[in-house]
């Protein structure tokens, strides 16, 4: 696994030891010598060395004298990569290491509790063995000032790791994000399927069904927001138990395992420790699954079918919308997003384009984005998000969106219910429809 190794012992200045160490790292076998153009004053090869700091023009004799006279502690960081990683990422020569350390010298100083103006350092690159590495000597102009703890070492390692492996980590993060969204979608679909099964017949998951019935009963006593973060501890425990039972479903387990492996890849950049996959309920990134379960239980309690197709409902004698009457480009994206025979990547892309248009202020796209959040399945159904986008379009005079806003406000969803405001929007939409 790609990983940066950082070791940070220290030595006492003075007495010749620190100066000798500087000479050793700058001239030993395997060090990459600085090109002669950097140090014109070095005329003879025996005096050549590979020491660099904030500048390339380093006087070895002056460094040795400075360190031999310094009374404080000098940290001797050793920073290395495996050969294959160094070669792949371009850290098999001194130039890349010089750039890295100079870029992060102030952050290294901060981790050592040294003001940047007081920070002194020299380093040399050794291209040898299985681990190409740099030796870095670091200290303060004010003896007694530096302090490097284990947390400070972790900070240094983290900053350098983030830079060295930036592109690879970004790719892994993107994969992890997509995997997370897929797990939420699949878990949501499994939950909806389970609830539908419970409505029609004796289900195949009695443990989960029993817990859902318990949750429905518990929600009867809840006032205010029915979101995981706002619920009492005993109800949270029920929700967690449901999540852990659903983790046993093959589809959910496979998605969770894919996400967990990507998570481990990211953590492996920083640590070698072994990890065990925790219960799904313990992962904060998947709070959306818990809220989806709560929503389904609340729908059962209220006798509702989750996110029924509002286009089939009639309000004030008017059909909620006629999708085909919208601009062709928006209508086409909507049709692709809703086409369950199309590839999921195509549907996701169509949804993303609609959202982008919505964010740019297109009222038709805002309305359709609201529909996507209301109806699913491309996006995770979310009444609050649906209401937000409907309202954006409604405030621009979009009549169908005005009806949709009214419909949501007049629903029994506790997160968005507002009868008085809903009636106002309904009257406003009816008036605008008549005028048009």
Asked whether residue 377 carries a pLDDT value surpassing 50, the answer given is yes
**What is residue 131's predicted lDDT score, i.e. its pLDDT?**
87
Same domain, 286 and 346: no
pLDDT of 90-139, one tens digit each? Answer: 888 889 999 999 999 999 999 999 999 999 999 999 987 888 899 999 99
State how many domains the chain has.
3
Same domain, 320 and 288: no
Q: Which residues pair with 122 in a beta bridge?
A: 137
Range of the domain at 46: 5-164
Is the Cα torsion angle 49, 53, 57, 59 positive or negative in sign? negative
Is the Cα torsion angle 160, 166, 172, 176 positive or negative in sign? positive
Of 302, 319, 339, the last residue of a domain is 302
Confidence of residue 312 (pLDDT cuts 50, 70, 90): very low
Cβ atoms 79, 5 nearer than 8 A = yes
Structure letter (DSSP) for residue 34: P
From 20, 15, 31, 124, select the one nearest 64 (Cα to Cα).
20
Confidence of residue 430 (pLDDT cuts 50, 70, 90): confident
Same domain, 174 and 157: no
Same domain, 118 and 204: no
Same domain, 24 and 158: yes
Of 130, 164, 198, the last residue of a domain is 164
pTM more than 0.85: no
Same domain, 318 and 431: yes
Of 133, 149, 164, the last residue of a domain is 164
Joined tokens for residue 179:
């995997």
Same domain, 203 and 141: no
Confidence of residue 41 (pLDDT cuts 50, 70, 90): very low
Q: Which of 156-160, 184-188, 203-207, 272-276 has the least mean pLDDT?
A: 203-207
pLDDT of 379-420, one tens digit each? Answer: 877 888 889 999 999 999 898 888 888 888 877 667 777 777
d(CA 110, CA 153): 11
Q: Which residues pair with 12 in a beta bridge?
A: 73
Kindly report the average pLDDT of the chain as a whole number.
81
Same domain, 96 and 231: no
Same domain, 145 and 176: no
Q: Summarize the confidence of residues 242-248 as an average pLDDT.
A: 93
The HSE-up count of residue 278 (CA atoms within 13 Å, CB side) is 9
DSSP labels for 85-96?
A: HHHHHT-SSHHH
pLDDT of 129-180, one tens digit each? Answer: 888 899 999 999 998 888 899 899 988 988 898 888 888 888 888 888 889 8
Give the CATH number, domain containing residue 409.
Answer: 1.25.40
pLDDT of 288-304, one tens digit each? Answer: 899 989 988 888 777 65
């Amino acid at each position: 696994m790609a990983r940066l190794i950082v070791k940070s012992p220290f030595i006492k200045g003075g007495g010749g030891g620190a100066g000798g160490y500087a000479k050793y790292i700058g001239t030993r076998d395997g060090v990459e010598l600085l090109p002669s153009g950097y140090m014109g004053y070095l005329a003879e090869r025996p005096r050549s060395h590979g020491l660099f700091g904030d500048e390339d023009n380093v006087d070895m004799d002056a460094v040795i004298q400075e360190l031999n006279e310094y009374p404080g502690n000098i940290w001797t960081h050793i920073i290395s990569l495996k050969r294959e990683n160094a070669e792949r990422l371009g850290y098999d020569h001194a130039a890349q290491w010089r750039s890295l350390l100079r870029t992060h010298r102030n952050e290294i100083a901060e981790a050592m509790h040294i003001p940047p103006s007081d920070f002194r350092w020299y380093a040399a690159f050794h291209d040898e063995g299985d681990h190409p590495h740099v030796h870095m000597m670091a200290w303060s102009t004010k003896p007694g000032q530096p302090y490097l703890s284990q947390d400070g070492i972790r900070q240094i390692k983290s900053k350098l790791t983030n830079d060295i492996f930036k592109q690879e980590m970004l790719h892994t993060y993107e994969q992890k994000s997509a995997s997370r969204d897929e797990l939420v979608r699949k878990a949501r679909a499994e939950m909806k399927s389970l609830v539908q099964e419970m409505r029609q017949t004796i289900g195949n998951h009695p443990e989960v069904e029993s817990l859902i019935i318990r949750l429905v009963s518990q929600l009867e006593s809840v006032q205010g927001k029915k979101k995981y973060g706002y619920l009492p501890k005993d109800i949270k425990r029920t929700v967690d138990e449901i999540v852990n039972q659903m983790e046993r479903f093959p589809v959910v387990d496979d998605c969770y395992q894919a996400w967990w492996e990507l998570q481990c890849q990211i953590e492996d950049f920083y640590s070698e420790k072994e990890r065990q996959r925790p219960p799904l309920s313990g992962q904060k990134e998947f709070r959306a699954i818990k809220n989806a379960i709560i929503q389904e239980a609340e729908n059962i309690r209220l006798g509702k079918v989750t996110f029924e197709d509002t286009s089939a409902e009639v309000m004030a004698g008017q059909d909620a919308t006629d999708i085909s009457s919208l601009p062709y480009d928006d209508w086409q994206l909507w049709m692709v997003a809703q086409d369950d025979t199309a590839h999921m990547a195509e549907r996701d892309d169509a949804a993303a384009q609609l959202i982008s248009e919505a964010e740019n202020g297109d009222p038709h796209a805002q309305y359709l984005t609201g529909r996507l959040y209301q109806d699913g399945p491309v996006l995770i159904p979310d009444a609050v998000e649906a209401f937000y986008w409907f309202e954006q379009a409604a405030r621009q005079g979009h009549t169908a969106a005005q009806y949709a806003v009214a419909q949501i406000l007049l629903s029994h969803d506790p997160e968005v219910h507002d009868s008085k405001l809903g009636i106002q929007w309904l009257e406003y939409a009816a008036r605008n429809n008549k005028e048009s």
